[in-house]
């Protein structure tokens, strides 16, 4: 038997004594199949063990996913309960028109403005428009607070509650900016383009919260500006609305929310449906521009709930942001009844640079402002151009309205201020912004300063 005849994967067995006997038997037993069989068996076991491990990992993953989903559902239910407690409005998600909407009156108003030869603005019929005589027929929203009465008693207010740092700030602004040369056109969005909140549209929804929505926006912008863009929170409308003001019935004193921000602080919170921040806004924005204020459905108490939604990473106390200073640039004439310092403010400004110049300097140096004025029925139909108050002779004053003042300019020798309205980006043709002639100055203008600790 040759060496080559022995297969490599076999055992050679010799039977008998090679030296003493010629009877020698040889037998070749192939073993590679058995080895292969053992190897296959081993591989099979390995595959089975791998499959078992895979099944176990998959089962654990599914179980973990179920636990996460369960936690999410529980937190959502918890947050829903919180939202209901914070603002039980019965949010007006469906668009409803005022049943007393006088279509003929409003269409005549729009036609008159658009046909007027010397009109500086154009109107567009707004099916959500209403009339002042139908606005305040119902009981105004009540409010509840753990801290103070919502309707601030102006007659009993301290100097800090009434004026803040008004006289000092205005005097310094007049005296220290005499050599300041202002540009003909100015827009806060262009001067501070990296401040995110300056560019956001404002929407008060089905609530008389224009003052609070505008105030929260101004504070957010000012914080970004005062920190050179290093700190950009979005101040919570919800927190400011429920804890500092008269809630959906509006604030009877525009400076009160600013003073509250300085003394108590406000947490963060995004707009309706954003789920951003500690206390996001809970009032629906899907009800028109402007929303019809149904006081029957809004006649509920608003609770000042000092806790964040459970999905937020910070506690309420950890999230609080406090301001440094607040001040008036222009106060209503009736304010002089409550403090002689308001008369001092008026005299100081009118005998020097005047309100228009003062407001422009403040805008250019420090950023957006809270501005409140009386609007007429026709304002609801604004589309574009420079709005002139009371263009239609039969229009009446609708109500006091607050917006965010962000800039100024001039067109065809007509000077104007630029405002961000609180009726959403669908109002008008400029994403919710409006130009108003400086002939009609706002009745109240307020600013604030933030200093990061």
- Report the length, in residues, of the chain: 453
- Count Cβ atoms below 10 Å from residue 301 Cβ, excluding itself: 14
**CA atoms within a 13 Å half-sphere pointing along the CA-CB vector of 122:** 7
250/167 Cα distance (integer angstroms): 26
Tokens of 305: 């709930």
The catalytic residue among 372, 376, 401, 402 is: 401
Which burial class, exposed, middle or buried, applies to 132 when counting CB atoms under 10 A from its CB (0-12, 13-18, 19+)?
A: middle
Residue closest to 83 by CA, chosen among 351, 278, 226? 278
d(CA 75, CA 4): 78
Q: Which of 195, 210, 278, 287 is catalytic?
A: 210
Distance separating alpha carbons of residues 385 and 314, to the nearest angstrom: 45
Task: Give the pairing type, strands 433-437 and 186-187.
Answer: unpaired
In the chain, the largest separation of any two C-alpha atoms, in whole Å, equals 141
CB-based contact 416:437 (threshold 8 Å) = yes
Active site residue 210: yes
384: exposed, middle or buried (Cβ count in 10 Å: 0-12, 13-18, 19+): middle
DSSP secondary structure code for residue 4 in this structure: G
Give yes or no: 421 in active site: yes
Indicate which residues carry an active-site annotation. 210, 401, 421
């Amino acid at each position: 038997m040759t060496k080559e005849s022995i297969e490599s994967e076999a055992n050679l067995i010799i039977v008998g004594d090679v030296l003493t006997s010629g009877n020698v038997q040889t037998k070749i037993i192939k073993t590679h199949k058995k080895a292969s069989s053992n190897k296959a068996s081993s591989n099979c076991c390995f595959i089975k063990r791998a499959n078992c491990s895979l099944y176990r990992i998959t089962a654990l993953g599914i179980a973990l996913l179920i636990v996460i989903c369960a936690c999410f559902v529980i937190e959502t239910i918890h947050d829903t309960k919180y939202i209901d407690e914070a603002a039980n409005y019965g949010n007006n998600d469906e668009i409803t028109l005022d049943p007393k909407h006088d279509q003929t009156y409003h269409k005549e108003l729009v036609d008159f403005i658009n046909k007027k030869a010397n009109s500086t603005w154009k109107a567009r019929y707004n099916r959500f428009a209403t009339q002042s005589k139908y606005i305040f027929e119902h009981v105004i929203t009540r409010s509840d607070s753990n801290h103070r009465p919502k309707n601030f008693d102006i007659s009993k207010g301290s100097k800090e509650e009434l004026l803040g740092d008004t006289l000092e700030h205005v005097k310094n602004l007049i005296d220290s900016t005499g050599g300041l040369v202002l540009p003909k056109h100015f827009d806060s969005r262009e001067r501070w383009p990296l401040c995110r909140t300056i560019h956001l549209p404002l929407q008060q929804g089905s609530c008389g919260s224009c003052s609070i929505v505008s105030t929260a926006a101004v504070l957010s912008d000012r914080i970004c500006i005062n920190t050179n863009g290093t700190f950009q929170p979005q101040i919570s409308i919800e927190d400011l609305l429920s804890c500092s003001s008269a809630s959906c019935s509006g604030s009877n004193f525009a400076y009160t929310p600013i003073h509250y921000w300085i003394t108590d602080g406000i947490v963060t919170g995004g707009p309706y449906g954003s789920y951003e921040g500690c206390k996001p806004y809970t009032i629906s924005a899907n009800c028109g521009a402007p929303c019809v204020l149904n006081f029957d459905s809004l006649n509920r108490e608003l609770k000042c709930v000092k806790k964040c939604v459970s999905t937020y990473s910070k506690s309420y106390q950890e999230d609080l942001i406090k301001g440094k200073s607040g001040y008036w640039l222009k106060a209503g004439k009736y304010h002089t009844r409550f403090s002689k310092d308001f008369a001092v403010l008026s005299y100081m400004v009118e005998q020097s640079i005047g309100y228009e110049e003062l407001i422009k300097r403040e805008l250019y140096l420090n950023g957006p402002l809270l501005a409140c004025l009386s609007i007429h029925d026709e304002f609801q139909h604004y589309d574009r151009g420079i709005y002139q108050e009371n263009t239609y002779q039969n229009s009446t004053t609708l109500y006091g309205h607050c917006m965010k003042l962000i800039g100024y300019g001039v067109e065809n020798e007509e000077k104007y201020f630029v405002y961000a309205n609180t009726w959403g980006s669908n109002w008008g043709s400029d994403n919710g912004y409006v130009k108003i002639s400086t002939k009609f100055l706002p009745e109240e203008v307020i600013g604030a300063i933030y200093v990061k600790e």
